[in-house]
Every structure is written in C-alpha cells, then in structure tokens.
Amino acid sequence: MSNASEDHAGSAAQSLTLNVSPDRLAIHYHGPAPTNADDTLCNEILAELTVLGVPVVPSRETLLARIQAALADGAPLVEGQAPVPSQDGILNWAGDFFSQGFLVDEKTGSVDFRQRAAQLSVTDGQLLLTVVPPVDGVAGMDVFGKPIPVPRGKVRRVRTGPNVRLDDSSATYYAAASGRIRWNGELLSVDPVFEVPGSVGLATGHIVHPGALVVGKDIESGSKVRAAGEIEVKGAVEGADVECGGDLSITGGLTNGEGRLVRSGGKAHARFVRDAHIEAEGDIFIEKESIQSTLKTRGAVIMPRGRIIGGEVTALRGIEVCDAGTAAGIHTTLVAGEDFARAAEMEMLHKRLAEMEMAQARIRHALDLAATSAIKLSPEQFQAMLALEIKAEEAEEEIRELRERVRKGTETFPPGHPRIIIHGCLYPETVLRIGCERYNTSDAIKGPITALVAGGGIILIPADMTPS
C-alpha cells in the first residue's frame, strides 16, 4: 500500500494497494474484490487506514460498497472535502470604455485605424463603474482530518481621480463632469477636454494641459505638447515633443527627426512614422510604414498591413508586421520580449554600481595607506580618516542595496512567449531578437511566418502552424 511516496504493507500487501492522491483529498484502492464468505480483506483495509492516520474509517458495509465502486469506475475509497475557492472582486464597467481594437468594416473586413472601438467620451453624471466585492471560499478537509485553508478573495482597489464621484453605499463611480475617461489600472479619472481648433505652433505656443487634448490640425515643428490624459491629433506631427498620460492618436503621420521624443502612457497610433522615436506603455499601431524609426513599447507593435524599414522596434509582447526590411538590404532590427523601461533602469543601476565600486576602492586604498604609514597622524588627519571610514561604510551599504536591486530586476524580468509575425516578407539584413536569442536574415523569406524561441534559438515556422 502506498501513501504518495511511502508504502505501508500489511498481510495483504501482495494483493492490495491504497494510494493517497497528491492533494490528499482521496485514497484509492487497487486490489482483489471482496467475497461474502470472507471479510479478511475488509479487516486488512480498515487496519491500514488506521495506520495511515485516517481519523474516521467507513463501516464494513460502506467499505464493501466503496470497494465495489472503486473496482468498477475508480471511485475513491475514502474522500475528503474539497475546498471551495474564493472569488476575487471584479469591476463591472458600464460601457465599452477601453476596447483595444478599432472599428471593422462589416462589408470589406478592413480595419479603420482612425476609429477606435472604445467609447471614451462620457457625460456629467454618467455611471462609469460598479465594484463587486470578493466572495470568500470555504476551507476543505483532507482524508487525514487536516483543514485545507482557502485564501480570501482579492479586493479590487479603485482610487478616484479628478471629476469622478463615488457612491459608497453601492460602490459605484460616476462622472462628475463631461470629458474623456482614463483608467490606469487603479486610478479612475475623467479628463476635461481642451480643444485646439487649428494647429499647435507659434500662434498657440507650447501646451501643457491637465486633461485630454484634441488638436484640430497639426502639431508643428518645434512645439512641445504635454497632457495628463490622452492626446488626439487630427492632422500630423512634425518635429515636435509630445507626451501624454493616456492614449496618443495621430490621424496623419509622425515625422520627428533626431532629438525629438513622443511618449504615451497608453496606446499610440499613427498613419506612418519616419525618423521618429516613440515610447509607449501600451500597444503601438502603425497603418502603413515605419521608416528609420525607433519604436519602444511594453505592449505589442501591430502593423498587419504595414512595413518596417530600418531603425529598431522593441516590443515586450511581440511584433506583427507585413514586411520587415527591404530587398535593398537596409539594416532593420526587430526585438520582442524585452521591456525597454526595465532595460533602461537596469542600465542605470549597473552604471551607478560601477561608480560606487570604484569610489569604494579609492577610499579603501587611502585607508590602507594610512594604516601602514609610520607617520603619526595629526588630530585633523585623524578626523579626516574617521570621515573616510564613514564614507566607506556608506558606500558599502549603497553597493549592497544596488546589488540587491540588480538581482531582483534580473529575476523579475517579464516572462512570456513573445513572437514576431511576418505576413509578407522577411528581407535580408533584418535582425530578429527574442529575449537573449538572435536571428540574422541573409536571404528573403516569404511569409506568413512566425519567429519564436524553441530549442535554444529562434526558429521560423509557417504562421498557420504556430502553437497557441
């Protein structure tokens, strides 16, 4: 008879086995069928259940019935009480405020990247959200009479930002003004909308707005635009610095040039990008092309009908594009599975750690020279040495903290199985990187193909064979 990893044998050990399930919620019987004339088998099983430590053993009549059921369909001989898991609290949104997609033409099936599916505009007094509290589960009991605890359900936390009203009695949230809803995973806000009917340029000056911003035409060269909420540009952006806490939507193209940065706290969308630098927390959608640009996102880069020519694209959740590179062999780099924000933080930590280790080495060298010197120190020199000792201890403490932060940053690097999907063609001189693996393209490869990590390297497989 076996108890997960141990065998307990009685006189019938050669013919029967009792197995305790890994979750300790059942004991299964394997052995001969009992006979009406001899109850030796029942005695052996009851004795072994007692040896195992089962506090409540079944009666002989019940045991006989359970043995028959076990032999017939594998039913357990002894069964505990399974725990009932808790249910976490949930957020019930009153509308489709945060849909990630765009409207699709029902007739043609084409995606209209200028029209988001989400309905971001809300009115004063509109219901936004109801928070449903968690439901605690019920503890279970294993076959040995020991309780199986159940963690309590998680409470969904919502903090109210500007222009949001909470009704405590019903855990509901309402818009306290008309505007555009914004949600960062914890803070719910309604941003007042500032509309610029024309372009942002010399006439308007730089713009800093605490809510959402709608630009009727373009953001012109040299402009600086910052909004706490989303920014919608109905024209193009050229040679400007743009930063928003929500989504960024550019109906036209983005041409920025060196030294200019576009940063989005949510998703980012543009018709095309050229010589641009975009950083986004959410997905980046480009309709037509990215030329000699740097795109960085903690989401995905989505360009199913577009092409990437030159530059570098880094996306934590993967890349989808029609064509990568060109037949002319323009160097293009696609990186998936890398968190650009974490990478920048780790680079700064490593740099600071190297600086502190060098400073500590210089201090220790000075202290060692003083300790081995035969010259008697003056009171001023002695105080200076004490100050150096304190600096050495402070440097040692900071080095320990930096090393711990580096260790944690390395251990918690975002996991997952990011992929690079090429619908059209993967051209020569295009480099694919996924995690630590690298693939250099020397010949044109027709799609649709998917690049993923398998067997210690990057492999390319037909898109329709990609595992889910």
Residue 208: C-alpha distances to residues 205, 231, 262, 318 (Å) = 10, 11, 15, 33
Q: How many CB atoms lie within 10 A of CB 180?
A: 24
Output the pLDDT for position 4: 41
Higher pLDDT, 435 or 319: 319
**Over the stretch 21-31, which tens digit does the pLDDT of each residue have?**
999 999 998 88
In sequence order, which residues have a C-beta less than 8 Å from that of residue 428 and are 6 or more positions away?
325, 327, 329, 441, 442, 443, 444
How would residue 196 be classed by pLDDT, with cut points 50, 70 and 90? very high
Which of 23-32, 65-74, 98-107, 164-173 is predicted with the least confidence, judged by mean pLDDT?
Answer: 98-107
Structure tokens at 2: 């076996």
The one-letter amino acid at 251: T
Output the pLDDT for position 417: 75
* Chain centre distance of CA 25: 34
- Residue 210: asked if its preceding bond is cis (omega within 30°), the reply is no
Q: What is the DSSP string of 252-320?
A: EEEE--TT--EEESS-EEEEEEES-EEEESS-EEEEEEEEEEEEEESS-EEEEEEEEEEEEEEETT-EE
**Over the stretch 207-218, which tens digit does the pLDDT of each residue have?**
999 889 999 999
Q: With the CA atoms of 256, 259, 264 and 269 taken in that order, what torsion angle do they form, in degrees rounded to the nearest 10?
A: 20
Output the pLDDT for position 258: 81
pLDDT, the chain, mean: 84
Structure tokens at 123: 């009115």
**Over the stretch 350-379, which tens digit does the pLDDT of each residue have?**
788 788 888 888 888 877 777 777 667 677
In sequence order, which residues have a C-beta less than 8 Å from that of residue 218 and are 6 or more positions away?
199, 200, 201, 233, 235, 236, 237, 238, 252
pLDDT at 129 over 50: yes
Structure tokens at 440: 């250099």
The whole-number average pLDDT for the span 309-336 is 94
Note whether 326 and 343 are within 8 A (CB).
no
How would residue 86 be classed by pLDDT, with cut points 50, 70 and 90? very high
- Measured CA to CA, the distance from residue 290 to residue 303 in angstroms comes to 9
Chain length of the chain: 468
Percent of the chain beyond pLDDT 90? 43
The whole-number average pLDDT for the span 142-170 is 90
Which three-class secondary structure state does DSSP give residue 399?
A: helix
**Over the stretch 257-293, which tens digit does the pLDDT of each residue have?**
888 999 999 899 999 999 999 999 999 999 999 999 9
Q: How many CB atoms lie within 10 A of CB 373?
A: 9
